[in-house]
C-alpha cells in the first residue's frame, strides 16, 4: 500500500468525516467487485450516521446488505465470506455491540492466517464507532480499543480527520488481514480538507499533526482535535507542543513517536478510554524501554475515569479528558 498519493492539480475542498468514509467505500466498491458492505440499517437508511448513504442505489442489494439485529451471525457471515475471497466491510453500529462478535473476530478471524500456516487470509474490515458524546449512556459510550489492541492477528485503526479516515479506510479494505476500524461519534460532522484524487494512507504510519520542540503530546481519535486546541493555548504561554497522531494503533508507528520524544524530552499521552489496562500505558512502556535516557520528566498519562459513562451530559464530560486537563498535564510535565 502507498502513502497518501495525490495528483499535481488536485482540487482542494472540505468535506465531512462521514462523507470521506462514504467516498472511500464507494471508490473501493467501484474498483473491486469483491468488496461489499453489510450491517443494521445501512442500506435503505444509509446507516445511522449516513456513512453508507447512496450506496444501495449505485451497487444494489447484493453488495449493500441490510442485516437483522444479529451481530454475531452477520459478523460470522463476513468472516466466512472473507475466507472464500470476498472483501466484506461489516458495520457494527456501536463498539459496545462488538462484544457480541468476539468469538467470530478474536477466535476465528484473528487466528485463521496463523492456523492455516500463512496460506489463507481474512480480508475483513469491521467498522464501528465508539467513545463518549451526545448522552448515550453507559452501554453506548465505551472506548474499547484496548480490547482489540491486545489480540494478535488484528489491525486497529482510529482516524481523527476526514483526510485520514478516507485514506486509511481504503487501505484497510485492501489489507489481507482483519482490520478493526473505529470511528468516533463526535467526528462524523467534522470537516477537513480531502483531495479529490485517489489516495491511500499506509497502515502503520503515524502523523505529526503539529510540530513543536518542547513536549510530545500523543493522542488519537477525538482526543486529537482536543489536543490541538490545547496546544494552541499552550503556545500562548510559550510552550511549543508537538502533537503526534498514531492513526493506526496496530501496527504502531513507534519510530515516529520515539523520534519526537528524543527531540522534546517530555511526553504526555491522552486517551479517552479508562486508564487501567489502556493503550497509553503500553505506549508509555515502549518509550520507557527505548527512549528512557532522553526523558527529562516522568511521562504524564491523561485518561478517562474508571467508571461507566453517565447519561447526564455534564457528568459525561467530567468522565473523559477535556482541553483544560490536557493543558494542566502539559504544564505539569514541563
The answer to whether 272 and 219 are in contact (CB under 8 A) is no
The answer to whether 255 and 266 are in contact (CB under 8 A) is no
CA distance 277 to 306: 11
Q: Rg of the chain over CA atoms, in angstroms?
A: 20
CA distance 3 to 24: 15
Q: Which residue in the block uniquely carries the three cell numbers 485492501?
A: 174
Q: Which of 19, 23, 91, 140 is catalytic?
A: 140
Burial class (CB in 10 A: 0-12, 13-18, 19+), 289: exposed
* 71 part of the active site: yes
Provide the β-strand partners of residue 302: 270
CA distance 72 to 77: 9
* H/E stretch holding 140: none
CA distance 11 to 22: 18
CA distance 332 to 105: 41
The answer to whether 162 and 20 are in contact (CB under 8 A) is yes
**What is residue 217's three-state secondary structure?**
strand
* 266 part of the active site: no
Q: Which of 19, 28, 71, 91 is catalytic?
A: 71
The answer to whether 128 and 95 are in contact (CB under 8 A) is yes
What is the signed CA dihedral for 129, 135, 137, 142, rounded to 10 degrees? 30
The answer to whether 141 and 309 are in contact (CB under 8 A) is yes
Residues marked active site are found at 71, 140
Amino acid at each position: 500500500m502507498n502513502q497518501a498519493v495525490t495528483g499535481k492539480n488536485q482540487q482542494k475542498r472540505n468535506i465531512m468525516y462521514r462523507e470521506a468514509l462514504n467516498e472511500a467505500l464507494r471508490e473501493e466498491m467501484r474498483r473491486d467487485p469483491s468488496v461489499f458492505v453489510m450491517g443494521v440499517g445501512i442500506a435503505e437508511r444509509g446507516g445511522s450516521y449516513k456513512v453508507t448513504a447512496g450506496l444501495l442505489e449505485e451497487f444494489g442489494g447484493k453488495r449493500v446488505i441490510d442485516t437483522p439485529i444479529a451481530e454475531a451471525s452477520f459478523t460470522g457471515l463476513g468472516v466466512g465470506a472473507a475466507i472464500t475471497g470476498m472483501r466484506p466491510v461489516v458495520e457494527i453500529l456501536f463498539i459496545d455491540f462488538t462484544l457480541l462478535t468476539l468469538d467470530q473476530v478474536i477466535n476465528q478471524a484473528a487466528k485463521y492466517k496463523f492456523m492455516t500456516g500463512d496460506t489463507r487470509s481474512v480480508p475483513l474490515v469491521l467498522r464501528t464507532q465508539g467513545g463518549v458524546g451526545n448522552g448515550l449512556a453507559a452501554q453506548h459510550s465505551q472506548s474499547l480499543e484496548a480490547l482489540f489492541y491486545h489480540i494478535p492477528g488484528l489491525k486497529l485503526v482510529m482516524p481523527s480527520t476526514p483526510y485520514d479516515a478516507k485514506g486509511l479506510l481504503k487501505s484497510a479494505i485492501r489489507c489481507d488481514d482483519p482490520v478493526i476500524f473505529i470511528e468516533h461519534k463526535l467526528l462524523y460532522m467534522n470537516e477537513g480538507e480531502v483531495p479529490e484524487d485517489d489516495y491511500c494512507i499506509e497502515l502503520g504510519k503515524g502523523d505529526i499533526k503539529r510540530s513543536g520542540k518542547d513536549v510530545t503530546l500523543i493522542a488519537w481519535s477525538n482526543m486529537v482535535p482536543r489536543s490541538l486546541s490545547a496546544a494552541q493555548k499552550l503556545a500562548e504561554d510559550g510552550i511549543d507542543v508537538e502533537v503526534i497522531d498514531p492513526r493506526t494503533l496496530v501496527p504502531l508507528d513507534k519510530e515516529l513517536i520515539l523520534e519526537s520524544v528524543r527531540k522534546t524530552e517530555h511526553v504526555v499521552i491522552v486517551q479517552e478510554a479508562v486508564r487501567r489496562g489502556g493503550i497509553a500505558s503500553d505506549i508509555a512502556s515502549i518509550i520507557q524501554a527505548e527512549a528512557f535516557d532522553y526523558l527529562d520528566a516522568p511521562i504524564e498519562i491523561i485518561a478517562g475515569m474508571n467508571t461507566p459513562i453517565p447519561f447526564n451530559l455534564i457528568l459525561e464530560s467530567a468522565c473523559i479528558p477535556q482541553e483544560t486537563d490536557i493543558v494542566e498535564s502539559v504544564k505539569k510535565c514541563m
